[in-house]
Structure formats: structure tokens, C-alpha cells
Chains A and B, each alone.
Chain A
Amino acid sequence: MHERILIAGSGGQGIISLGKLLARLAAETIPHVTFFPAYGAEVRGGTSNCQVILSAHEIAAPIAEIFDSMLIMNQQSAAHFMAALDKNGLAIVNQSLCKVHADSRHVLVPATEIADRLGSAKAANFVMLGAWLARKPLIPARAIETAMASHFPDAPAALIDINIQAFRAGLAG
């Protein structure tokens, strides 16, 4: 198993925190995990992205060229990154904010609208994560829900609850 994951969107969409949560939980069952946030020139203009690599073997370059999975949350990221999706890859695309060409590798999810209906558009990242885990169950869904509160220690309980509902909506959709 060697899964190269890119999570990309705009600042404030919870890109980095989603990547960290994924990496943290993956590290409980998967031998080799790297998380690398874009922090240099590429974050300018309000975009945000991070790479998470999960592997049964030692990870050489922690920065991938081609990705097995992508969680694409805004149009700018779709335009910038989706050419690097592996030919057998899977891209979860936030249909609320992105238009992409039809492709059997793309799964369109109206993540921002779903999250907004649940009470906070900020939870769109968890709709995306749910939709991805439904298709690539690399970590147990229950672990995500259990870890939610400890991952956001300062968040009010109501927001944690919206995140969990958003995650379940993604998982079910």
C-alpha cells in the first residue's frame, strides 16, 4: 500500500487541519506516514494545500509528483493540481465551488452546500473526507468521529457535532 493524497483549497477551508487529522489517525495503523504542508511561495494568493502519504514501506520523497487521491475544494486548486492525478486515481471535488470536466476518476460532491445546510460551511472539509473514506477506507470511520473533539480542543461542542454530521453525510453520499 502506498497512497499519495493531496488536499487543496483556500485558506480557511480547514485544509491543513484535515490533513493533520488524517495523518495522525493513519499513524495509529499504517507504518509510514508523512504530512507536508505548503508553506512557501505556493500558498500566496490565499490557497492552501498539503500532502499526506500513507505507506507500508519507508517513504523516500515526502513530496509526491503524482497523486492517488485528491480532495479538491476550490476552483483554483482544481486548475492547478488535477493534472497530477494518477491514471487510476480518485479525486473528490467540491462541486459547490468547482467546475471540472467529466472523468470517471472524479467524484463530485456539493460539500459546501451540504455543510452549510448542516449549520456551517466550514465543515465542508469533513464532507469531503467522508466521501473519500467511503471509497478508500484506509482508516476506520469511527476513529475520525472519536478523534474530532480532541483534534479541535477549543471548538464549541455544537461545531464538533456539525463536523461529525458533515462527515457522516459525506460517508453516506
Chain B
Amino acid sequence: MKKPDNAFFSRVLMMGNEAAAEAAIRAGCQCYFGYPITPQNELTAYMAKHMPERGRVFIQAESELAAINMVFGASVAGVRAMTSSSSPGISLKQEGISYLAGAQLPAVIINVQRGGPGLGSIDPSQGDYFQATKGGGHGDYHIIVLAPASVQEMHDMTVEAFRLADHYRIPVMILADGRVGQMMEPIRLHEDPPPPVPPKPWALTGAKGRPPQYIRSLFVEEGALEKHNYELQDCYRQIAAAETKAEETETGDCEWLIAAWGTCARISKGVVRKARAQGIKVGLVRPITLWPFPHEHLARLAHQVKALLVVEMNCGQMLEDVRLAVNGAAPVHFSGYPGGRIPTETDVLNALTALAHSQGR
């Protein structure tokens, strides 16, 4: 066996939920508000132990609704704040998320998805894609949505979420699932200083030495809401231009393309290796930001492939965005797993080989 180098000793074996919690602390999160739910409880438990140790705020709220509104209050005061939950709990937070979006307030929200609808199951799922990327709450808004596929990404994306939230004054969601939340992997911890906090002249910090100001999401004056919504859309355009991210694997010469996110993308990476060993030239595109969605990656790749296969642990949600991006340039097929079961590499490989044979290799 190879001798260990120093980089190995600096790795820490962590569970995804705890890696996200530790990242939030390292990113300068001052306030955590949450309410327990499986499969994200370890995140709340980690914050309960470690936030007070650092003199920061941890509150187990009386409900998810209370927790998201506590985030609103902390954010209004200009401090970094977050909440986390799993699917049914995230539904309860939607009103608050809409208000955060309307009031242009930074916040970090982690959703460790479980099965649904309703209470569903505690097994991993990707059933909240629509909810996360298409609004979730009422009104004409978006939030940034990041999709981790590993414990390292749970950690890194949480740090990045605080930067994005403050920079664009927008709620940012980490859309994980029970698999990535519960699994452990060795990771390198974020050792740099927290992302710098930009000036927040809008924050309500007491009106000493300045005129009073207020933050609200209600715009009743004639034309005010229209102006406000155009401002929001302008911000969304800036985010789409600067922050859209996707990872491509073996796409250079690919004739077939798998599109998948989070857990399914990771499984599909193994499928790409196995399929290529069988002579099927397949590539993988993995949206890292689900909103903004990497339309251009998909549109470009669609012109070089015979067909696409979208793989998700749901009945076809990102599928709709892929179809919009591909816009008829190639057939788009789907392989979905909605019951809390994580697909195996064999499941996805079978779907891909069936597609390749039916379309003629």
C-alpha cells in the first residue's frame, strides 16, 4: 500500500449532515434555527453542540415556520443565518422563503430530501426539484439552488452558499438528499477565513446617527411592485450569467448523454465508465446549480448526441428543464426511481443500453 502523505492526515471522516454544519460555522454563520426531522437531524444536533461553544446562537424553534421566520429576523439585522430541514419541513418554510426573496434577504437553507408527497418516507429522494427551482412559495421569484453529490461538496457548497447569499441578497438552498446527508467520506475542511461579509447598509441595526429605515416585502404604492420585480429579475439575470455551473464527464466525443444531479449524477459517473468499457460512447452532464439551470451546456451537447437519458430519483422533474434546453435537438428519455430506492449502476446501465440498442448504435 502507498505510504500516506500529509494531505491524508489532514482529512476528516465526516457525515454529510455534519460536514454542512461545520462548513456553516466556518463560513461565519452567527445564527442557526431549526426543528428536528430525519434524515437531517445530525445537522441540527451538530449545531446544538457547537454554536453555543462559540458564543453563537442556536435555537430549536417550536416549528419549521418559526425557524424560517427567525432566519428572516436575523438576516434583517445583517447577520449570517441559516436553517435546515427535510422535505415536509421545507414545505412548511415556503411562505418564509417567499418573504425572504421578496425582501431581498440573504439566507442559507439546507434541504436533505426524503420521500414524498406528504410525510412520504425517510429514504433518499429527489422529489423536491420542482419546489426548489420553480419558486416553492408564492410570487415571481427564484432562489439559488446548489446540488451536492458528495460529503466534500456538502461542505464546500455550504461555505459558497453564504457567499452567494450575501453577494446577491438572495436565499440560497442546498438541495441534498438522505444519501448524501447520511453517508461519511473523508473531507478537507475549509481552512480559509469566512467569505468576506459585504457592507449591509440596508440592515436594521438601530437608527442611531441615521434616519430610520425599514425592510418589507409589501409594495402598495402605484408602480412600486412592478419596479421591485424588475429589480429582482435583473438580479436573477446577473446570477445566471455569473454563477451557472455544471460538471461534464467524458462529453468530448460522446454519442449519448446522461443528465443527472446529486446522488444520481454520482451513480451515473460509474455507469459512464462501465458503458464505455462496452463500447457505448456516453458522457455525463451534471448541473451543479439547479437554479440557475445550465441550459447552454445541455443545448450545446444536444447537437452532438443521438439521444439523452435523464436519471432522477423522482418521476421526471429536471427532465422538464432538460427538454426545454434541448428544444427538440435530440430525443430525451427518462429513467426514474420515485420510491426512496437509490438506483444501482446496473439499473442505469440497463436503461442506457436499452436506449442505445433501440436507437441503433
Interface residue? B139 (CB, 8 A): no
**Residues A62 and B183 in contact in the complex (CB < 8 Å), given A27-B13, A29-B1, A40-B123:** yes
Is A65 in contact with B8, judged by CB distance below 8 angstroms?
A: no
For A32-74 the 0/1 string (1 means CB < 8 A from B) is: 0111110111000000000000000010111101000000000
Interface residue? A109 (CB, 8 A): no
Is A39 in contact with B178, judged by CB distance below 8 angstroms?
A: yes
Query: Once the chains are docked, how many angstroms separate the CA of A23 from the CA of B11?
Result: 12
Chain A interface size band reads 20 to 34
Query: Once the chains are docked, how many angstroms separate the CA of A61 from the CA of B1?
Result: 23
For B9-28 the 0/1 string (1 means CB < 8 A from A) is: 10101000000000000000
Interface residue? A106 (CB, 8 A): no
Contacts of A60 in B (CB 8 A): 266-271, 273, 345
Query: Once the chains are docked, how many angstroms separate the CA of A85 from the CA of B126?
Result: 30
Is A61 in contact with B8, judged by CB distance below 8 angstroms?
A: no
Query: Once the chains are docked, how many angstroms separate the CA of A75 from the CA of B30?
Result: 49
- Distance in Å: Cβ of B126 to nearest Cβ of chain A: 15
Query: Once the chains are docked, how many angstroms separate the CA of A15 from the CA of B344?
Result: 23
Interface residue? A20 (CB, 8 A): yes
Interface residue? B340 (CB, 8 A): yes
A-B contact count (CB 8 A): 75
Is A20 in contact with B184, judged by CB distance below 8 angstroms?
A: yes
Interface residue? A168 (CB, 8 A): no
Is B13 in contact with A29, judged by CB distance below 8 angstroms?
A: no
Interface residue? A28 (CB, 8 A): yes
Query: Once the chains are docked, how many angstroms separate the CA of A37 from the CA of B178?
Result: 11
Give the nearest-CB partner of B183 in chain A.
A36
- Distance in Å: Cβ of B285 to nearest Cβ of chain A: 15
- Distance in Å: Cβ of A108 to nearest Cβ of chain B: 28
Q: Is the interface of B mostly helix, strand, loop or mixed?
A: mixed
Interface residue? A24 (CB, 8 A): yes
Is A62 in contact with B179, judged by CB distance below 8 angstroms?
A: yes
Is B183 in contact with A40, judged by CB distance below 8 angstroms?
A: no
Is B122 in contact with A61, judged by CB distance below 8 angstroms?
A: no
Q: Is the interface of A mostly helix, strand, loop or mixed?
A: loop
Q: From the candidates A23, A29, A35, A37, name the one contacting B8 in the complex (CB within 8 A).
A: A29
Is B121 in contact with A41, judged by CB distance below 8 angstroms?
A: yes
Contacts of A30 in B (CB 8 A): 1
Interface residue? B54 (CB, 8 A): no
Q: Which of B1, B2, B273 has the most CB of A within 10 A?
A: B1
Query: Once the chains are docked, how many angstroms separate the CA of A29 from the CA of B13?
Result: 13
Query: Once the chains are docked, how many angstroms separate the CA of A33 from the CA of B344?
Result: 18
Question: What is the number of residues of chain B that contact chain A, defined by CB distance less than 8 Å?
Answer: 33
Is B186 in contact with A62, judged by CB distance below 8 angstroms?
A: no
Is A61 in contact with B13, judged by CB distance below 8 angstroms?
A: no
Contacts of B345 in A (CB 8 A): 60-61, 65
Contacts of B186 in A (CB 8 A): 27, 33
Interface residue? B201 (CB, 8 A): no
Is A28 in contact with B270, judged by CB distance below 8 angstroms?
A: no
Interface residue? B131 (CB, 8 A): no
Is B267 in contact with A36, judged by CB distance below 8 angstroms?
A: no
- Distance in Å: Cβ of B337 to nearest Cβ of chain A: 12
Q: Which of B123, B182, B183, B340 has the most CB of A within 10 A?
A: B183
**Residues A33 and B185 in contact in the complex (CB < 8 Å), given A24-B13, A28-B8, A65-B344:** yes
Contacts of A31 in B (CB 8 A): 8
Contacts of B270 in A (CB 8 A): 60-61
Contacts of A138 in B (CB 8 A): 1
Q: From the candidates B185, B268, B340, B346, name the one contacting A40 in the complex (CB within 8 A).
A: B340
Is B344 in contact with A61, judged by CB distance below 8 angstroms?
A: yes
Q: Which of B9, B39, B184 has the most CB of A within 10 A?
A: B184
Query: Once the chains are docked, how many angstroms separate the CA of A62 from the CA of B345?
Result: 10
Contacts of B3 in A (CB 8 A): 29
Give the nearest-CB partner of B39 in chain A.
A39
Contacts of A37 in B (CB 8 A): 182-183
Contacts of A33 in B (CB 8 A): 13, 185-186
Which residues on A are within 8 Å of B, measured CB to CB? 20, 23-24, 27-31, 33-37, 39-41, 58, 60-63, 65, 138
Which residues on B are within 8 Å of A, measured CB to CB? 1-4, 8-9, 11, 13, 38-39, 121-124, 178-179, 182-186, 266-271, 273, 340, 342, 344-346
Known: A34-B184, A60-B266. 11 other contacts (CB 8 A): A23-B13, A27-B13, A29-B1, A29-B3, A31-B8, A40-B123, A40-B340, A60-B270, A60-B271, A62-B183, A63-B342
Can you give 22 contacting A-B residue pairs, CB < 8 Å?
A27-B11, A28-B4, A29-B3, A29-B4, A29-B8, A30-B1, A33-B13, A35-B183, A39-B38, A39-B122, A39-B178, A40-B123, A40-B178, A41-B121, A41-B340, A60-B268, A60-B270, A61-B344, A62-B185, A63-B179, A63-B342, A63-B344
